[in-house]
Chains A and B, each alone.
Chain A
C-alpha cells in the first residue's frame, strides 16, 4: 500500500482481555517502530524492529506487552491482561532503513479503549 496501515482503527475491550494490534508498513521499509500516545501527551516510544528482530524494546512498559515481526514486514503488538491504563492510541511507523534520517512514516493509529 501507499502508506502505513494499522488495524483495527478502534478497539474496545474489557479489563483482563487479550488484544492484538496489527501494522503493515510501507513496502520495502526495513525499520518499524511502535509508539503509544496517551491523551494529552506526545507519542512515547515502545519498540523498534530492524528486519525481524526487536533491536530495542526498552519502551515496553511491562511484560504484558509483546511485539513480533516474523517475516520482517507486518508487525503485531500484543497486550495481555489489559488494564484501563493501557487505553491509548497505538501508533506504528516505518522508515526505509535503520539509519536515522528522522523521517518516520506513521499510520493513523489504533485507538484502544479498555473498559
Chain B
C-alpha cells in the first residue's frame, strides 16, 4: 500500500523567505505525485502535479516541485513566499494509470508573516 510522509507539520516564515516543504512517499511501482493547497476558509485545490517527463514541475503562483525517484521524494519549493501563501499544503500520490484514488500526507500548515 502507498503512504505519504510530510516532515513538517507547521512552518512559520517571514515574507520573501524561501520555502521548501518535504514529501516522501512509499510505493514500489510507478506513481503520479501531487501537491494540493487549502487556503483559509476555502476548498482543497490542485497546486501542481507530476506524471512523467521533466522531474522539475512548475505550478501556479510560482511554486515548483522536484521529483527525485531515487529518494522517493517530491519536495515543494518557492523562492520567495508572500503573506497570501499562508495555507495548508498536502502532498499526495496515486498509482500511475489508476483512477484518482489519492493518498494524502498529513499536511503542512504554513504561516507567512508580513
Decide yes or no whether A41 CB sits under 8 A from chain B: yes
Residues of A within 8 A of B28 (CB): none
Interface footprint category on B: 20 to 34
Partner of A102, one of B32, B105, B106: B32
Q: How many residues of A contact B (CB 8 A)?
A: 29
Chain B, residue nearest A104 (CB)? B100
Is B29 in the interface zone, CB < 8 Å from A? no
Cβ of B61 under 8 Å from chain A? no
Indicate if A25 sits at the interface (CB-CB under 8 A).
no
By a CB distance below 8 angstroms, the chain B residues around A4 are 43
| Contact present for B105 and A33 (CB under 8 Å) | no
Q: How far is the CA of A56 from the CA of B103 in the complex (A)?
A: 14
Among A41, A48, A106, the residue within 8 A (CB) of B99 is A48
Q: Counting CB contacts under 8 A, is A44 at the interface?
A: yes
Q: Given the known A-B contacts A42-B90, A42-B107, A43-B90, are A102 and B102 also in contact in the complex, defined by CB atoms under 8 Å?
A: yes
CB-contacts of B52-106 with A (<8 A): 90, 92, 94, 96-106
With both beta carbons as reference points, the residue of chain B lying nearest to A47 in the complex is identified as B101
Which residue of B34, B92, B99 contacts A50 across the interface (Cβ within 8 Å)? B99
Chain B residues with Cβ below 8 Å from A42 are 4, 90, 92, 104-107
Q: Are A55 and B99 in contact (CB under 8 A)?
A: yes
The listed residue (B45, B49, B51, B106) touching A41 by CB distance below 8 A is: B106
**Chain B positions near chain A (C-beta within 8 angstroms):** 4, 9, 32, 34, 42-46, 49, 51, 90, 92, 94, 96-107
